[in-house]
């Protein structure tokens, strides 16, 4: 997750200078929604500066982390400010360890370019336009393949003829292996030649087919697909939503949220009484968009009902309460004319380990109000949130994304740090059908639940992908699992 405090626009505006002031004082300058530029400017720092080349950036990092980091009481008393900024940032973290620190930090990160970080969180990247999972080619093999999960409409990958289900086994004529796949796939090259393999009976064989793709700066629309089906006399709405982003990078129009409103308005006009929400490839994003979507779905929800609340660190919480009251920590549902909750008794959510953060917030936030049935595999497990911190003077170029709060639903529940276990387990096969095809494994399972033709439990295991996972391009998507909190507009 990601939280935001300063600036009225969701993206693109600059924090008013707050010389000599900390975060809470700076909040009085501009109340807001949007990305959080750091209100600890390089000129404002009061701690003694060293002459080392990293001192200024590292002290800027340290001052902000001591103020807002969720685990600020775990920051070392005298960290080494001679370290490179990324190493210094990591040295401050309350690092996760499955055995010794299972509630530690798995999610904070820093990037050398704050502006690039902000663009990526809004879905704008230099990309081929496809996402894929990586697998060992076979048990005990050093060979690696990339299974294409989806291709963005209008992207270079689509124009080159790549599609969901394609298997990439070569890049620029070289077979992918455990030792070279990262260098070949993430080389930063502008043009790639992807060699494809074919699938038969869960086995792979290389072909002579190649697809040449040239990357470009591309803005992803998070709404991938919407459709309706009639199943057993019921009208079923289906939505594939791949990131919680209100609008394009640099836009303040929230055009993607408006598109969601229009889709649910259409669902409502068509009498949709069952909903399948496909979040299997959604790693998170803005909580404003999460609240918008939840408000279109929830049964009996309105602006008086709590969607989620936040818990910040012990030192900053009383200061924020004093300035803004408890409403600072609360996100209620929205009043939406397009809400279809009145026609729903439940919602089906399709999940994988790519389903994270703002996606999990949907599941947790709706559960107090309606039945949420998850279908797929266990979600990622992220119940904490971060903010983007940049230096608005432009002197420091870095941008960081530290965890600053933990989220709870209206019942006080926040117990999904290990993910949500699915009610119905369905594993994706090696042969992938198009998203929206009623025979596709996860959608088919949801439609079977709606029609009453199957019981809960484990299904789809016979055709499950037998290969060992090595990761996914989705994990590299702006940190893998961010969530951005849209703040209320705060008056001076």
Per-residue pLDDT, averaged over 239-254, amounts to 92
Pairwise CA distance, residues 151 & 386, whole Å = 28
**pLDDT beyond 80 at 12:** no
**pLDDT beyond 60 at 411:** yes
Place of tokens 């600072």: 328
Q: How many CA atoms lie within 13 A of 104 on its CB side?
A: 14
Per-residue pLDDT, averaged over 362-368, amounts to 98
Sheet holding 384-387, edge to edge: 285-286, 483-485, 2-3, 384-387, 403-408, 306-311, 330-332
CA-wise closest residue to 28 among 12, 16, 41: 16
The sign one gets for the Cα dihedral 32, 36, 39, 42 is negative
**pLDDT beyond 70 at 420:** yes
Q: What is the pLDDT of residue 259?
A: 98
**For residue 226, what pLDDT band results from cuts at 50, 70 and 90?**
very high
- 457-458 and 346-351: which strand pairing? unpaired
Per domain, the residue ranges of the chain are 2-121, 126-218, 220-382+406-464
Per-residue pLDDT, averaged over 477-492, amounts to 45
Greater confidence (455 vs 239) lies with: 239
Q: What is the pLDDT of residue 40?
A: 55
**pLDDT beyond 50 at 488:** no
Q: What is the pLDDT of residue 403?
A: 93
Per-residue pLDDT, averaged over 250-266, amounts to 95
**For residue 486, what pLDDT band results from cuts at 50, 70 and 90?**
very low
**pLDDT beyond 60 at 464:** yes
Pairwise CA distance, residues 15 & 288, whole Å = 20
CA 80-83-89 angle, 5° bins: 85
**Residue 435 DSSP class:** T
Q: What is the pLDDT of residue 456?
A: 55
CATH number of 126-218: 2.30.42.10
**For residue 239, what pLDDT band results from cuts at 50, 70 and 90?**
very high
Per-residue pLDDT, averaged over 417-422, amounts to 95
What is the per-residue pLDDT across 330-358, written as a single tens digit (0 to 9) for each?
A: 999 999 999 999 999 999 999 999 999 99
CATH number of 220-382+406-464: 3.90.226.10
Minimum mean pLDDT range among 152-166, 207-221, 449-463:
449-463
CA-wise closest residue to 117 among 359, 384, 387, 382: 387
The pTM (predicted TM-score) of the whole model is 0.86
The rounded mean pLDDT for the chain is 86
**For residue 459, what pLDDT band results from cuts at 50, 70 and 90?**
low
Greater confidence (453 vs 158) lies with: 158
**For residue 302, what pLDDT band results from cuts at 50, 70 and 90?**
very high
């Amino acid at each position: 997750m990601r939280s935001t405090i300063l600036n009225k626009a969701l993206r693109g505006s600059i924090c008013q200078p707050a010389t000599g002031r900390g975060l809470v004082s700076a909040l009085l300058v501009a109340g807001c929604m949007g990305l959080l530029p750091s209100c600890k400017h390089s000129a404002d720092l009061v701690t003694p500066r060293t002459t080392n080349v990293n001192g200024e950036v590292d002290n800027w990092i340290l001052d902000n982390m001591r103020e807002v980091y969720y685990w600020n009481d775990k920051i070392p008393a005298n960290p080494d400010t001679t370290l490179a900024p990324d190493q210094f940032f990591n040295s401050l973290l309350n690092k996760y360890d499955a055995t010794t620190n299972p509630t530690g930090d798995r999610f904070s990160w820093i990037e050398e370019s704050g502006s690039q970080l902000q663009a990526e969180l809004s879905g704008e990247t230099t990309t081929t336009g496809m996402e894929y999972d990586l697998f060992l080619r076979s048990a005990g093999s050093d060979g690696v393949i990339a299974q294409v999960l989806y291709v963005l409409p209008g992207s270079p990958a689509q124009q080159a003829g790549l599609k969901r289900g394609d298997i990439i086994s070569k890049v620029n004529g070289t077979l992918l292996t455990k030792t070279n796949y990262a260098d070949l796939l993430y080389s930063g090259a502008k043009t790639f030649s992807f060699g494809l393999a074919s699938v038969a009976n869960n086995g792979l064989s290389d072909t002579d087919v190649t697809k040449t793709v040239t990357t470009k700066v591309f803005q992803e629309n998070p709404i991938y697909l919407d459709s309706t089906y009639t199943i057993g006399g019921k009208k079923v709405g289906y939505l594939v939503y791949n990131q919680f982003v209100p609008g394009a990078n640099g836009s303040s129009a929230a055009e993607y949220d408006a598109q969601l409103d229009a889709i649910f308005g259409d669902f409502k006009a068509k009498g949709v009484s069952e909903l399948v929400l496909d979040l299997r490839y959604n790693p998170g994003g803005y909580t404003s968009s999460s609240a918008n979507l939840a408000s279109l779905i929830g049964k009996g929800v309105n602006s008086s009902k709590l969607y989620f609340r936040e818990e910040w660190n012990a030192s900053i919480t009383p200061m924020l309460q004093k300035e803004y009251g408890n409403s600072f920590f609360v996100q209620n549902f929205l009043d939406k004319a397009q809400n279809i909750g009145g026609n729903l008794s439940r919602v089906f959510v399709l999940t994988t380990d790519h389903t994270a953060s703002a996606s999990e917030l949907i599941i947790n936030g709706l559960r107090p109000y309606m039945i949420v049935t998850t279908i797929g595999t266990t979600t990622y497990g992220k119940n904490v949130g971060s903010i983007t911190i940049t230096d608005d003077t432009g002197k420091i170029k870095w941008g960081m994304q530290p965890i600053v709060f933990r989220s709870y639903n209206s019942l006080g529940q926040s117990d999904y740090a290990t993910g949500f276990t699915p009610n119905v387990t369905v594993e994706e096969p090696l042969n992938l059908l198009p998203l929206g095809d009623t025979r596709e494994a996860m959608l088919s399972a949801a439609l079977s639940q709606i029609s009453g033709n199957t019981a809960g439990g484990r299904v789809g295991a016979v055709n499950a992908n037998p290969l060992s996972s090595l990761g996914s391009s989705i994990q590299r998507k702006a940190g893998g699992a961010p969530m951005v909190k849209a703040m209320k507009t705060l008056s001076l």
